[in-house]
Amino acid sequence: MKLHKEGYPSIAIVFTFVIIINIIDQYFNHSYNFVHYLVWLVSAFLIVAILQFFRVPKRKVTKGENLVVAPADGKVVVIEEVMEDEYFHEKRLQISIFMSPTNVHINRYPIGGKIKYFKYHPGLYLVAWHPKSSTENERTTVVVENENGKSVLFRQIAGAMARRIVFYGKEGDKVEQGQECGFIKFGSRVDLLLPLDVDVKVVLGQKVRGPETIIAEFKT
């Protein structure tokens, strides 16, 4: 299993904790009782949980100049028209993907092109499905424009558990559709802000996989 580089510190902490509690258990508890089994069960759960969270699965990128692909794994929790006041200053269609702790938390570019805008916003840590998390939580805002002049704004949004957002790009970079762009540690959310006239290909509650699932298609 390939593991993501962002997980190395967390994995090391979990393995150190597991070793310590097992040493303590062996030192103070010399009978094979309920406590022994509980320690083993907790150790196994922590190891499996941390490894599956930071796993890097193989994915086939769905590519297309007019396609917007999922920037993350998760469930579609919002499809609505909103006023975008940071970059476009116009109404846009917001599609939000909630990533639970069991999802892969790698983030990817929904379209290829050039990074026109990037900004990091410090903020709160409301639960990721809270209506105000898009504007009040810790987040990044990224705008990518493709060769046809179509632009997508997307935000990496921290949740109640997520306390670190990583973004690898910078303004002016040329990026490929489906290319890894960042990572959010533990439960979180990604918002897409699309033109109002896109043809939406997902529905509320649908589970998506980045960068395989087509979220929307630009009208030509």
CA distance linking residue 125 with residue 158, whole number of Å: 6
Q: Side by side, which strands form the sheet with 199-200?
A: 67-69, 214-217, 199-200
Tokens of 109: 């570019």
Name the 3-class secondary structure at 117: strand
User: Which of 43, 96, 151, 188 is labelled catalytic?
Assistant: 188
| Element at 220 (helix H, strand E) | none
Q: Identify whether 134 is a catalytic site residue.
A: no
Nearest to 210 by CA among 81, 110, 122, 83: 110
**Half-sphere exposure at residue 129, Cβ-oriented, CA atoms within 13 angstroms:** 9
Q: How far is the C-alpha of 145 from the C-alpha of 37, rounded, in Å? A: 55
Residues designated catalytic: 188
